[in-house]
Structure 1
Amino acid sequence: MSSSTDAAAVAAPPKKTSWPEVAGKTIKEAREIILKDMPDADIVVLPEGSPVTRDFRTNRVRIFVGTVEGTPHVG
Structure 2
Amino acid sequence: MSGTPPVVPPKLWWPELLGSPATPAVMKIKQDRPDVSVEVLPPGAPLTPEFNPERVRVFIDLNGLVAQVPIIG
TM over 0.5: yes
Matched residue, 2:36: 41
CA distance in 2, matches of 1:28, 1:68: 12
Question: What percent identity do the matched residue pairs reach?
Answer: 37
* Aligned residue identity for 1:60: R
Offset at residue 52 of structure 1 (A): 1.4
Q: Give every structure 1 segment of 4 or more consecutive aligned residues whose post-TM-superposition deviation is greater than 4 Å.
A: none
Matched residue, 2:68: none
Gaps of 5+ in 1: 70-75
Gaps of 5+ in 2: 65-73
Q: TM-score, normalised by structure 2?
A: 0.68
* Aligned residue identity for 1:28: T
User: How many equivalent pairs are there?
Assistant: 63
* Aligned residue identity for 2:39: V
Larger Rg: 1
Task: Tell me the SS of whatever aligns to 1:48.
Answer: coil
Equivalent residues of 2:26, 2:38 under 8 A apart: yes
Are residues 59 and 68 of structure 1, via their aligned partners in 2, closer, same or farther at CA, if it must alter by over 3 Å? same
Q: TM-score, normalised by structure 1?
A: 0.66
Q: Which has the higher helix share?
A: 1
* Aligned residue identity for 1:14: P
Offset at residue 10 of structure 1 (A): 5.3
Offset at residue 65 of structure 1 (A): 0.8
> Which whole-Å deviations, capped at 9, do the CAs of 1:4-32 have from their partners, x for residues lacking one?
xx6xx556311211101111211111011
